[in-house]
Structures are given as C-alpha cells and as structure tokens.
Structure 1
Amino acid sequence: MKMKSLLLCFMISSSLLLMSFAAAKAVTCDPMQLSSCADAILSAAKPSAACCAKLKQQQPCFCQYAKTPSLKGYINSKNGRKVAETCKCLSCC
C-alpha cells in the first residue's frame, strides 16, 4: 500500500511539473515583435539573428497571423516564406 501511495505522489508531482513548464512556454501573440523582420520581408534582405529569434518565439502564432487580413499578405508572401525558411521556422497551418 505504501508503495502505491508513493508512486501516486510521484505521478502527481511529475504531472504538475510538466504542466508548469508548458505554461511557462506560453507565447503572447504580438505581430509588432516581428518588426525586426520588416526589412527582410519587404526587401528580400537576409534576416538578422534578432529577426530569427523573434520568429522562433512567435512561431506558435503563425497560423493566427496567416488568417489576419492585414498580416496574411506578409506571412504568405514569397519573401515572408523565404525568411521563415532561412530562420528554420516553418509552420503547417
């Protein structure tokens, strides 16, 4: 009986720990955080390291951005896809 209680306690603790890590990785979708990518998207320039870092941070938001009328033209543009590919931030929506 004691072993079962110990195992149950371990399982609950592990679950809570995993849930806290998932919550810590939550991203606030803010397209303005991608302003460092503007030159690369608008002029086909090579994306900066800062741009790639922000793209990776905002990657969970790409599908939302792709559905937003004011943003989808940039996200789905040839240069937008090229920047995402260069930064290794491909998304499947």
Structure 2
Amino acid sequence: MKATYIAVCTLLVVLLLAQVQVSTAVTCSPTQLSSCVSAITSSQPPSQLCCSKIKEQKPCLCQYVKNPNLKKFINTPNARKVASTCGTPFPKC
C-alpha cells in the first residue's frame, strides 16, 4: 500500500513538472496588437481582446519599443495607459 502511494505521488509530480515545462513560445508579431490601435490612438478604453493580446505579447514589447517604425506608437502616453489599464506594466527596456 505504501509503495503504491509513493508511486502515485511520484507519477503526479512527474506529470506536473512535464506540464510546467510545456509552454508555448510567443511569436512576436506587432500585428497581434492591431486590436489596440483605437485605444492607443484615441481615448477609448482597451477591449478585452486588446488586453489579452498585450499580455500575450508582453515578452515582445521591448523589441517593439526599440523598433524605430513602431516606437512612435508604442512609446506614447496612451500606449502606457492602455498597458496599465490591461494590468500589464509597461516594460523598462
């Protein structure tokens, strides 16, 4: 009985560790943030889709800020406000 309990616990730990290690890599694509354009360029609140995309693209935000073509859109007070409203702190790159 004790050996079965230990085997089951070991199996659960292995499965949990496997779940943690399996993560999907984010594909950095600024077009993923297209749902945020109206919120960034106006005073409209961000949509749920916008917020989910910002959270998804969070690892890519510094890359976008450093891109001269995107910097003028990403590094603005409205973009910072949208990120804050979505609960995603603006990155310190």
Q: Same fold (TM over 0.5)?
A: yes
Pick the TM interval, shorter chain.
Answer: 0.7 to 0.9
Q: Structure 1: any 5+ residue segments left out of the alignment?
A: 1-9
Q: Structure 2: any 5+ residue segments left out of the alignment?
A: 1-10
Q: Distance in 2 between matches of 1:68 and 1:40?
A: 20
Matches within 5 A, 1:1-93: 17=18, 20-21=21-22, 24-90=23-89, 91-93=91-93
Quote the sequence identity (%). 51
SS of equivalent residue, structure 2 residue 46: coil
TM-score by length of 1: 0.75
Higher helix share: 1
Provide the residue aligned with 2:4 in structure 1: none
Q: Distance in 2 between matches of 1:48 and 1:19?
A: 29
CA-CA distance at 1:19 after TM superposition:
7.2
2:26 partner letter: V
TM-score by length of 2: 0.75
